[in-house]
Chains A and B, each alone.
Chain A
Amino acid sequence: MLFDLEIFLQQLVSPEYMWGAFISVAVAVLALVLATAIGFFVALGRTSRKPLLQAPANAYVWFFRAIPALLVLLIMWNALPQLIPFFSQDWFTPFIAAFIGLGLVEAAFMAEIIRSALLSVDDGQALAGRALGMSPTKVMLKVTLPQAIRIALPPTGNEFIGLVKYSSLASVISLRELLTTAQVGVNITFRYAEYYAAAIIYYLIIVSILTVLQGMVEKKFTWTSKVKVKKTRALASATKAGLS
């Protein structure tokens, strides 16, 4: 059996694959947003000096780092609706269960990334902000956080890629993301190579787009004046023009 290019290309542009890829990315994006939000507060708790804030934050990280993501998804989808009627209603779809489940697990990892990013900002920064008379919240938002974000960006990009891949775990709760889409096709046609190759292409495209986006965001956080770059460029081209 040879690699059938036609089947491969057909699948590559099929709406099923595009939808599957979209679901994978959407789950990853929403899970990361949730994880960053929860992770930020967990990180604040873990860097706090108050035991009352520290203990629950530590417990969160301890718990969700220990439990496999797959188990969390199964609990979210199967156990939760049994225990709490609120989750047995129509709104609770595999998609929602997947992004919340992955987000909860990922929050433990984001908390650690954010915590080390916050700690790596020089103490003198908050000191200078406080000396200006800024409130603790203002110091966090205007001084510490912008610098911590820059440090947290590269590892967060890694986490996002991880989440795109982890979204395939949600096949156990019958979410039709990218890999499930490929698997379903394979089960009918047995064209393993063509269907899996199409999935590979999609994963590569997703990660490539992310890498470009990440580069653009990181450039925003380099903190050098564009004015200067433009000027030197203008100067360079002016001298070139003068030479020719």
Chain B
Amino acid sequence: MILLPESSDIERTVDQPVLNVKNLHKAYHGQEVLKGVEFEIRKGQVKAVLGPSGSGKSTMLRLMALLEPADQGEILLNGNIIGTSVRNGKTSHLPERVLAKQRQDIGMVFQKFNLFPHLTACRNVMLGLTSVKGVSHTAAREHAMEMLERVGLANRADHYPSELSGGQQQRVAIARALVLNPAVMLFDEPTSALDPELVGEVLDVMEKLAAEGMTMIVVTHEVRFASRVASEVSLFDGGVIVEQSPPDDFFNRPQHERTRKFLSHVH
């Protein structure tokens, strides 16, 4: 009788989602963009999110990354509520200092790279280590070089972002997020700002990351990448996740009318 809840507890921690989003709401100027998003991802999973332009996919990721406060809803990282605290039944947003700490566990890669133009590739990757984790300069440089090696850019370490191609910049941005060893990586259309011939090198790096077991949420328009790499594909539309299924089902046997409609546009 006593053992039963214990064993189910253990089961829960093993199988617990890395990131779990419940009933997320967000409005801008009275316009509701997120209307109760439910989303969860487990360790090692890769979830691709497709959806029409302007539907709120970036907003969803920014909220998950604690870059903006939600109007309503819960975000759990490894089972713990982040971003807000509940006291006496009242939910309040945490101060920026506390949020900053919680953000270290969530990596974010932006559509427009957002590399720091005044720092070399290596320094871009080092900054999180030196100024957030308090790692020494030498150790940070060594670690940053390893990350640049992983994305195939060790030979560009001392170049400034303005001296790198878009694809190279995005790979540096991935290394910059990766170096803090996040529990989950969020990608916001990582290849949308790239020339077609540069898309492949970024997707290759992401596919390698996925194969190494990184937990990833990828908002993308790359259907081929989604069907090959993702464990599950979701359609985000009208402020909610409309459909969520393994790629084969999602692309070949979509359950919802909106998914069928969306796929007919991208195919």
Q: Assess the B100–A134 pair: CB atoms within 8 A.
A: yes
Minimal beta-carbon separation of A136 from chain B (angstroms): 5
* CB within 8 Å for A225 and B117 given contacts A133-B101, A133-B128: no
Q: How far is the CA of A133 from the CA of B65 in the complex (A)?
A: 10
Q: Taking the complex as formed, is A125 at the interface, i.e. its CB lies under 8 A from any CB of chain B? A: yes
Q: How far is the CA of A147 from the CA of B114 in the complex (A)?
A: 13
Q: Assess the B96–A225 pair: CB atoms within 8 A.
A: no
Query: How many residues does chain A have at the interface if contact means C-beta atoms less than 8 Å apart?
Result: 25
- Chain B residues with CB under 8 Å of A128's CB are 108, 110, 114-116, 173
- Chain B residues with CB under 8 Å of A150's CB are 118
Minimal beta-carbon separation of B139 from chain A (angstroms): 17
Q: How far is the CA of A223 from the CA of B177 in the complex (A)?
A: 22
- Of chain A, the residue at the smallest CB distance from B118 is A146
Classify the secondary structure of A's interface with B.
helix
Q: Taking the complex as formed, is A172 at the interface, i.e. its CB lies under 8 A from any CB of chain B? A: no
Q: Assess the B103–A228 pair: CB atoms within 8 A.
A: no
Minimal beta-carbon separation of B134 from chain A (angstroms): 11
Minimal beta-carbon separation of A181 from chain B (angstroms): 42
- Of chain B, the residue at the smallest CB distance from A221 is B118
Q: How far is the CA of A31 from the CA of B176 in the complex (A)?
A: 40
- Of chain B, the residue at the smallest CB distance from A123 is B114
Flag B125-137 by CB within 8 Å of A: 1 or 0 each.
Answer: 0011001100000
* CB < 8 Å A-B pair total: 80
Q: Taking the complex as formed, is A243 at the interface, i.e. its CB lies under 8 A from any CB of chain B? A: no
Across the interface, A225 reaches (CB within 8 A) one of B104, B120, B132, B180, namely: B120
Q: Taking the complex as formed, is A224 at the interface, i.e. its CB lies under 8 A from any CB of chain B? A: yes
Q: Assess the B163–A127 pair: CB atoms within 8 A.
A: no
Flag B176-195 by CB within 8 Å of A: 1 or 0 each.
Answer: 11001000000000000000
- Of chain A, the residue at the smallest CB distance from B173 is A128
Q: Taking the complex as formed, is A209 at the interface, i.e. its CB lies under 8 A from any CB of chain B? A: no
Minimal beta-carbon separation of A41 from chain B (angstroms): 19
Minimal beta-carbon separation of B190 from chain A (angstroms): 13
- Chain B residues with CB under 8 Å of A134's CB are 100, 127-128, 131-132
Q: How far is the CA of A127 from the CA of B114 in the complex (A)?
A: 8
Q: How far is the CA of A138 from the CA of B134 in the complex (A)?
A: 12
Flag A119-155 by CB within 8 Å of B: 1 or 0 each.
Answer: 0001011011111111110100011001100100000
* CB within 8 Å for A225 and B159 given contacts A131-B67, A134-B100: yes
Q: How far is the CA of A125 from the CA of B114 in the complex (A)?
A: 6
A-B contact pairs, 18 of them (CB 8 A): A127-B67, A127-B114, A128-B110, A128-B115, A128-B173, A129-B127, A130-B100, A131-B107, A132-B132, A133-B180, A135-B96, A136-B96, A136-B97, A142-B127, A142-B131, A223-B160, A224-B163, A225-B120
Interface of B toward A, CB cutoff 8 Å: 65, 67, 96-97, 100-104, 106-108, 110, 112, 114-118, 120, 127-128, 131-132, 158-160, 162-163, 173, 176-177, 180
User: Can you add 17 more A-B contacts, CB < 8 Å, to A127-B110, A132-B132, A223-B162?
Assistant: A122-B114, A124-B110, A127-B67, A128-B110, A128-B114, A130-B100, A131-B65, A131-B103, A131-B177, A132-B128, A133-B101, A134-B132, A142-B127, A150-B118, A223-B118, A224-B160, A224-B163
